[in-house]
Chains A and B, each alone.
Chain A
Amino acid sequence: MFNKFKNIDDVNSCLRVNEECVIYYSSEYLLKLLDSGNLAVKFEHQFTRDFDCKVLKGNLFVSVDNDLLVLDVENLKWEKACQANGQYITALSDHRFLASSYRRKDKEYDNSIYDRDCNLLWEINGEMSFRDVYQSHLLLSDRRGNKIGYLNFKDCNLLWQRGLDSSINGESIETEKYIIIPLSVGLFAFDRQSGEKVWSIDNSLSHYSYDEQKDSLYGLISKSFEVVDVSTGNREVKKEFGEDLHIASHLTYYSNDLLYFSGYRDNNIPIFGAINVKNGNLVFTQEVEMPGEKSFRRGLDRPIIVGNRLYVRDAMKTLHVYEREDHPA
């Protein structure tokens, strides 16, 4: 169980949490960087509009249309990383940036990869664009998620492309050997090197959490928990539990043998909790106190667990910060 440590209001967008800092921006586009220990504000910067952000190797990359800015989180200094010819730019890694545009009339994309010095390395135009970003690879897909490609963005090598049995219906996962993709007809594993299908399972979820050490996928939805062996595609555990919980599969977070989740109890009471992935037992649930009437429209984002803290934002954009009971700061 967790004790409330602090509430932070107006956490509008771009919430990023790591061991060093908590980053977000307010509804007035004020970027804030907080010390992860006492949650005091260390740095602020006023933007004039929405933006996207990503933390990579101690740097905060901020995408404002086709401008990519980078903040050295340690020294708190800005520099311009890259300006691209496109509608949008994002950092794939601290050394690779991707610029892309969507041509609405043609329903096609222009994609370009740049190096750290903003030199153009690679271009591809057409029906495919980036979908999920991994350590050193990109999953490309067409707009409807019926066709995919696998690109190594370090050396800009497009390894393979292939069609799918149905459209993508969730977030893909890259493991040591496979790309695992939830499709609307089931969960499919493709070989990373060849793109060949390795296994598939029916009646799957749209989101799984990956445990790299055990090479397992953990899936949780409402009253059902399952474990999938990545190497074989076998469901090793499928467990139902009795509590009246409502959990969306993507609102889960794996950490240290526990699959944390947020959701509702009795349809509209916002809660977070955890499942022990070793046995599928529900370890705890805890209500999140929110002002106003309860509603299935006033739920919680996915919880984030960093160290002894659990961070979960509610629909009113208040970030609830909790500390584990048995591990006070």
Chain B
Amino acid sequence: MKTYFSILFKLLSFILYCYTFQSSTVIDSCLEICADAKCIHSPLDSLKGVLDEYNHTQVLLSSKKLDSYHMPLPGVCIMKALDDDMNFNSSFKDHINSTNGNGVKAWDALIAHPLIRKDVATLTSASKILDNTGIVNIISKTDLQSAVQKLASKGVRCRTCASGNPFYRYMDEILDDLEHGATKFGDSYKSVVTGIKQGNNFTEGAIFVADAVKRYGDDFPSNSVFEFTTKTTADNIRRVDVKVPNGFNGNKDVFFEFKSVLDVPPSGFATQFVKDMDLPDVTDLNQLKWWFDGKKVNSLPKQDFIDALEGATISQDIINKLVKTGPKTKEALIDLIDDDFDLIFFVK
């Protein structure tokens, strides 16, 4: 018993010392003590009250914190990683120390990414997602981790990351888009998160959707419907689709197609556009909007789009419903598309 109190006293003294000086070495030492304190692992529970009393949130050694992050003693090595990261820069350290545990929660979520997890901007954006209880069913911690992993593998950089693909917006900006979209659009926005988590081109397409619906927020009211599909009825791949109910003239749905591609018209364009025109809800060409990623294309070669449609099979039903006046011919329909090209196809 005497030995126990002696160890306890030493430990407390040392932790208070850590709290006072907070040097990396000291914290490291604290951690080592904890790690070495296997012998007092069980009695550590009795330390909780003492540690809480001293509110050691900054050094995150309290068993309360350890428990809340599901990091009992095996988690000490994670805490050591945090301690190591504390040396990265003062911004990171200040962020961790000033966010009352939320920064650590975000840091922990990004633990798999040694550079990204030290980026304050990304941590802040990740915290916005993790702390927003209203969107936990749309983008969970696991979703966030998966999204960051896919984004990182695409080369999305954090602000303090030395490497990455400068073509993409920063990681924090994309995470902010996701938080904004999930908050505004609700459950339907899961499709965008799913798209991001798919990886490869799916991720790229979803990044563009998330960005566009935020930048052009007025075009996308909160009742907009998002959908992630891997195949269409034509068996050509689609990504995230967006429908804005009654978005045209207040009484017709608008169907958005987002394309983040280098080649325009994209492969399969004509087939896909004919399918769009064939949608039962569509009675007017202006219900179709194709948005191309302005980071990849500067302009759209109108004649190439028209030529592609000239070569496509367009059913009489489609022609009958869209050509309102005069002969119901394919030529008349394509002329309408030609005229309305700038109302249908956009670079954003």
Contacts and interface: CB of A to CB of B under 8 A. Distances in A.
Interface of A: 12-14, 50-52, 86-88, 90, 100-102, 104, 107, 109, 111, 128-131, 141-143, 145, 168-170, 184, 203-206, 221-222, 246, 248-251, 262, 267-268, 293, 295-302, 315-316
B255 to A, nearest CB: 8
Interface of B: 188, 225, 227, 229, 231-233, 241, 243, 245-246, 249-253, 255, 275, 278-281, 283-284, 313, 315-317, 320, 324-329, 331-332, 335
Contacts of B275: 297
22 contacts: A13-B315, A14-B317, A52-B320, A52-B328, A87-B329, A88-B327, A88-B328, A88-B329, A100-B326, A102-B335, A104-B332, A109-B326, A128-B325, A168-B324, A206-B249, A222-B245, A246-B245, A267-B227, A295-B241, A297-B275, A297-B279, A298-B233
Nearest to A316: B233
A101 B280 contact: no
Contacts of A87: 327, 329, 331
Contact of A297 (B229, B245, B315): B229
A250 B283 contact: yes
Contacts of A107: 335
A62 to B, nearest CB: 11
Contacts of B255: 297
B224 to A, nearest CB: 11
Given A251-B280, A296-B227, A129 B325 contact: yes
Contacts of A12: 315
Contacts of A129: 325-327
A72 B253 CA distance: 40
Given A102-B335, A297-B279, A299-B281, A222 B326 contact: no
Contact of A248 (B225, B231, B281, B331): B281
Contacts of B279: 297, 299, 315
Contact of B316 (A52, A251, A262): A52
B280 A248 contact: yes
A145 B280 contact: no
B105 to A, nearest CB: 33
A299 B324 contact: no
Contact of B233 (A100, A131, A142, A297): A297
B235 to A, nearest CB: 10
B241 A297 contact: yes
